[in-house]
Amino acid sequence: MLKAGFIGAGGRSQGAHYPSVNRLKDNVEMVAVCELDEARLNQVAEKYGFSHTFTDHREMLDSVDLDIIYCVMREEWILQPALDCLNAGKHIFMEKPPGANSDETQQILETAIANDLYAMVGFQRRYAAVTREAMRRVAEKGPVSTAITTFNKQMLDVKEFTTTLWNDVCHVVDLLRYMAGGEPVEVTAYQDKFGGQSRNCYTGLVRFDNDATGVVFGNRASGGRVLRSELHGVGIGCYMKIPEEIEIHEDNKKHTMGGWEVDNVDQGDGPRYEGVLTMHEHFIECIQKKEIPISDLRDVIHSIHLVDQIEGTLPE
């Protein structure tokens, strides 16, 4: 039984991560939680029965014997808690993006390696049922030819601590690289501002070392939220509405499946087929088997480098 601690009890933590880890009771005991906001701290302590509560993560590390820590917080705050946890000998799970910039990501990675620990990043689109199904089917038909990812919203002139690409669109940059199955060798990218003062529209064309070509679209100046992807092989093309649907065109025949059908679960079990629960199960299984997680920083650092290439030089 792995003993888990949590740092952060904000909306993302309570909406996705706490409930999913709580479903892994056969393998994980939720022991300790740290949160600066005492109202939130008391809320999760009561709901999940934490036996130890803290407002200082260093006190938690000194007081409780933990195996893993879920560090779920915004990018501007993650560096020091992540380093402290790793230096205390704890595997960590982090939300995206893993740090305020790629230098911070590199620091966390180097600390994880130095301590022989895992630092997994919550790029959950990798684990979505429709993504896994597309990759399985395309792998059976030969090499990947093309991957496309799209993440659009309407969030005009929203001030970010970092940038729209780093904070949000990084999700589909990572998904593009993951589905393509190679490393980028050539990148052409455009960064634009529409209806606002900050960059809010990114378009990237990526050539990978396995001869796959990728295209990423990230537009916060659009009309609403759209999250989609495509993956193409030889005689097959998969079109995903993430996480709810995959449309498969194979040898001139069309087949559509819901994400819940892929995983053979109830349609109401969103955490399962959207990837959050599968992601947390994978993290725990990897720790138990001493295997590097799929979205550990040892791999994710390459997606972070691709994000930097698409971002280019930031304006003054």
pLDDT in tens, 130-161: 999 999 999 999 899 999 999 999 988 777 78
| Residue 316 scores a pLDDT above 70 | no
**Type of residue found at 15:** G
pLDDT category at 196 given cuts 50, 70, 90 is confident
Tell me if 63 sits within 8 A of 33, measured CB to CB: no
CATH of range 2-121; options 3.30.420.40, 3.50.50.60, 3.40.190.10, 3.40.50.720: 3.40.50.720
Residue 161's pLDDT is 80
Sorted by sequence, the CB contacts under 8 Å of residue 260 that are 6+ apart come out as: 129, 266, 267, 269, 272, 273
Residue 302's pLDDT is 98
Q: Report residue 215: phi and psi, to 5°.
A: -130, 130
**What is the CATH code for 125-311?**
3.30.360.10
What are the extents of the domains in the chain? 2-121, 125-311
pTM of model > 0.85? yes
Question: What Å distances lie between residue 309 and 44, 110, 257, 300, 314, CA to CA?
Answer: 39, 21, 35, 14, 11
β 201-208/213-219 pair status: antiparallel
Beta bridge partners of 33: 6, 53
Left (φ > 0), alpha (ψ -120 to 50) or beta: where does 181 sit? left
Tell me if 147 sits within 8 A of 216, measured CB to CB: no
Distance CA 290, CA 286 (A): 6
